[in-house]
Amino acid sequence: MSGESESAGHVRSWDTHTMPWEIRHIDELDGDLAAKPLIEDPDTGMSVMKMKYFAGFTNEWHTHNCAHGMYVLDGILKTHAGSFGPGSFVWFPEGSEMGTYGGRDWPTWR
């Protein structure tokens, strides 16, 4: 992948500052997100990517069939469970129902 380097022992690293953003249309959201894919394992479905949520982005209530985490690099991630700033790592358990803030108050965790 672009921006990737590899050394002995299969240690991999990416310079995400030099990688181009890919714009991905998400049909379920009828919107676009910017992404820099890093790791994708077709055998397990596991993936790691750097994502950019554009200002004002809203994600309605939804459920993921797998757990996932978000590391906030810049700005504020506002979710139904609270607001999280740079340096926060936010974990969403498998099967949990979630939403991201888009200008309205969210109810408590479901």
Range of the domain at 86: 55-104
Q: Is residue 2 classed as helix, strand or coil in its secondary structure?
A: coil
Q: Give pLDDT, residue 102.
A: 47
pLDDT (average), residues 99-108 = 46
Yes or no: say if 34 and 22 are a contact pair by the CB < 8 Å rule.
Answer: yes
Q: With 80 as the cut, is the pLDDT of residue 109 above it?
A: no
Q: Are both 44 and 2 inside the same structural domain?
A: yes
Same domain, 7 and 40: yes
CB atoms within 10 A of CB 105: 7
User: Are residues 79 and 98 in contact, defined by beta-carbon separation less than 8 angstroms?
Assistant: yes
Q: What is the pLDDT of residue 33?
A: 85
Check residue 51 and give its pLDDT: 87
Q: Do 5 and 32 reside in the same domain of the chain?
A: yes
User: Is position 70 within any domain?
Assistant: yes
110 found inside a domain: no
Question: 34 lies in a domain?
Answer: yes
For residue range 56-102, list pLDDT tens digits in order: 777 777 787 888 888 898 888 888 788 889 999 999 888 887 776 54
Please tell me whether residues 46 and 72 are part of one structural domain: no
- Do 1 and 35 have their domain in common? yes
Domains identified in the chain, total number = 2
Q: pLDDT for 20-68, tens place per residue?
A: 999 988 777 777 889 999 998 999 888 899 988 877 777 777 787 888 8
Q: Quick one: 48 and 1 in the same domain? A: yes
Confidence of residue 6 (pLDDT cuts 50, 70, 90): low
Structure tokens at 65: 């069939």
Contact status, residue 100 vs residue 83, Cβ threshold 8 Å: no
Three-class SS of 23-82:
EEEECCCCEEEEEEEEEECCCCCCEEEEEECCCCCCEEEEECCCCEEEECCCCCEEECCE
How far is it, in rounded angstroms, from Cα 74 to Cα 56?
14
Among 35, 52, 69, give the residue marking a domain's end.
Answer: 52
